[in-house]
Structure 1
């Protein structure tokens, strides 16, 4: 069984954590947004020192990853004392630093990352790598990029360049969405390996063609003619036109072409929440086969979030699947606001 360790803020002590509710211990991950631990622990005769080590800003180590306690509540039931803990991954502490300087111009993703890491972020112990094996990520026109906390700036890079970030403690790996996740042979079949499933299948937003307009020159002509991308799915569904992209940051044709391919929702937007009957091996970004016979749907869909209960043999993970290209709400930004609000009380 995997051990969990707790360390005080100054890292003077590090002890195995015992006495926590094993059935309720939960690891939650949401792509580009959230990675945290939630659990409850009771103070016993066997764990008084570890229990006291577990405090605001102390660290919890799970599967080699460090999580920092940001939310902590104390409860008592008679003579029994409990703590409820929420500990986001150490990578989200980048929001404690700020890049005051800005850059303007046609910048690559690496240019932006270098600008972010040229500030205090490197001194905070963060390192990074950018992997673009197929050379699909091109430059984007940026205006006053900077003047924000590091987490906010990283989120801008993820959105502008259509990237995914994977964290290994304070080492951050950035890659294009196209290179992210492994296609597996796992299968999610409605009423087969699930006892509870909720799917939102939206064909209203399914389109097969999109046009993009880039930046204009001073003489009111475009740097490149408007681009049109037509999906191969148009042979099945016909021409369905999505609202155009109009973005003056784009001066390079290839950059706009990639944006159109990624933005076009050319298959039914599907988001599903599944409670599985049995333990299920899932990893961040894995593709699984989604089969929904009532609608004749059978295609690969990506794991974009999960809740796992690693210490409970009877609890299979809850998985969120999605092929929806729409931007989703930033949970970590909301968490940061909640922490700030709570601290002001």
Structure 2
């Protein structure tokens, strides 16, 4: 059994946490959006010191990851005193730093990251790498990049350069979305390891062709001719044109080509929640084969979030799957809100 540790804000004490309800302990992760733990802690005669340590800005350590307590609700029912606790992953503390200065020009990912973490509070102890093994991410024209907190600016980088951020405490690794996630042999099959399925399947957004327009020069000509990408799914579904991308940050055709491939929704957009009834190791970003006979579904979908109960033997994990390329951020934000509503009461 993995232990949870608690430490005060100044790291003077570090103790094994006991007295929490194992069925209330939830770890929630949503890609590029959310990473937190929630639980109910009961005050016992044997854990009074640890109980008091769990307070605002104290630290919890789960499987090597540090979470900072941000919300504590103290309650009493007769002689039973409890705390409802919410703790956010330490990587989200970057929101406390602010970069007042702005930068304009054709910037690489590392240019942006160096600018972010040279802000008012320095790097705050964060270290970061950018791993682009296939050299597919090019520079992007930025205008007035800055004047926001570190977390907001990192989100801009993730969106502008189509990246995923992997976190290991304060070590941040940025990778292209194309390189993210492992294709696994795992199957999620209806009535085998799941029987609660809530899915949104949309063919209205199914398209096979998209065009992109970049920046114009002063003489009203483009830096590069408009680019058109047509998917191989054209042979199956015919010509279906997605709304064009018009973005004057692009001065390099290769950048636009990559974005067109990433954003064209050339298969039915599918997203939803699955409650598993068998143990399942939720790998961040894994591609799993989803088979759901009642709807005739059989294809790979990526895990973009999960809610798991690491100390419960009776509550199965819930995983969030999506292959919706066009609105992945809005889907994950909505799913994050849904998870929050289902949190510890």
TM-score range, shorter chain: over 0.9
Q: Secondary structure at the match of 1:192?
A: coil
Task: Work out whether residues 279 and 315 of structure 1, in 8 Å CA contact, stay in contact via their aligned partners in 2.
Answer: no
Task: Work out whether residues 72 and 86 of structure 2, in 8 Å CA contact, stay in contact via their aligned partners in 1.
Answer: yes
Q: Secondary structure at the match of 2:143?
A: strand
Cα deviation for residue 124 of structure 1 reads 1.2
After superposition, the C-alpha distances for 1:153-175 in whole angstroms (9 at most, x for unaligned) are 00000000000001100000000
Match of 2:16 in 1: 16
Match of 1:215 in 2: 215
Match of 1:265 in 2: 265
1:123-138 to structure 2, matched below 5 A, reads: 123-138=123-138
Q: Note closer, same or farther for the CA distance 1:212–1:195 as it changes in structure 2 (3 Å cut).
A: same
Q: Does 1:91 align with 2:91?
A: yes
Match of 1:341 in 2: none
CA RMSD of aligned residues (A): 1.6
CA distance in 2, matches of 1:256, 1:112: 19
CA distance in 2, matches of 1:208, 1:331: 26
CA distance in 1, matches of 2:191, 2:205: 26
Q: Secondary structure at the match of 2:117?
A: helix
Q: Does 1:328 align with 2:329?
A: yes
After superposition, the C-alpha distances for 1:26-61 in whole angstroms (9 at most, x for unaligned) are 100000000000000000000000000000011000
Task: Work out whether residues 94 and 121 of structure 1, in 8 Å CA contact, stay in contact via their aligned partners in 2.
Answer: no
After superposition, the C-alpha distances for 1:126-156 in whole angstroms (9 at most, x for unaligned) are 0001000011111111000011100000000
Task: Work out whether residues 25 and 37 of structure 1, in 8 Å CA contact, stay in contact via their aligned partners in 2.
Answer: yes
1:41-190 to structure 2, matched below 5 A, reads: 41-120=41-120, 122-190=122-190
Cα deviation for residue 193 of structure 1 reads 1.9
Count of aligned pairs between the two proteins: 335
Match of 2:291 in 1: 291
Task: Work out whether residues 214 and 222 of structure 2, in 8 Å CA contact, stay in contact via their aligned partners in 1.
Answer: yes
CA distance in 1, matches of 2:97, 2:122: 10
TM-score relative to the length of structure 2? 0.94
Cα deviation for residue 290 of structure 1 reads 1.4
After superposition, the C-alpha distances for 1:287-314 in whole angstroms (9 at most, x for unaligned) are 0001233443321100000001011112
Task: Work out whether residues 121 and 150 of structure 1, in 8 Å CA contact, stay in contact via their aligned partners in 2.
Answer: no
Q: Does 1:246 align with 2:267?
A: no
CA distance in 1, matches of 2:328, 2:193: 29
Q: Secondary structure at the match of 2:49?
A: helix
CA distance in 2, matches of 1:144, 1:21: 48
After superposition, the C-alpha distances for 1:166-211 in whole angstroms (9 at most, x for unaligned) are 1100000000000111100001122332121111111100111000
Cα deviation for residue 120 of structure 1 reads 4.6
Runs of 5+ consecutive residues of structure 1 not aligned to the other structure:
339-345
Q: Note closer, same or farther for the CA distance 1:291–1:278 as it changes in structure 2 (3 Å cut).
A: same
CA distance in 1, matches of 2:27, 2:121: 26
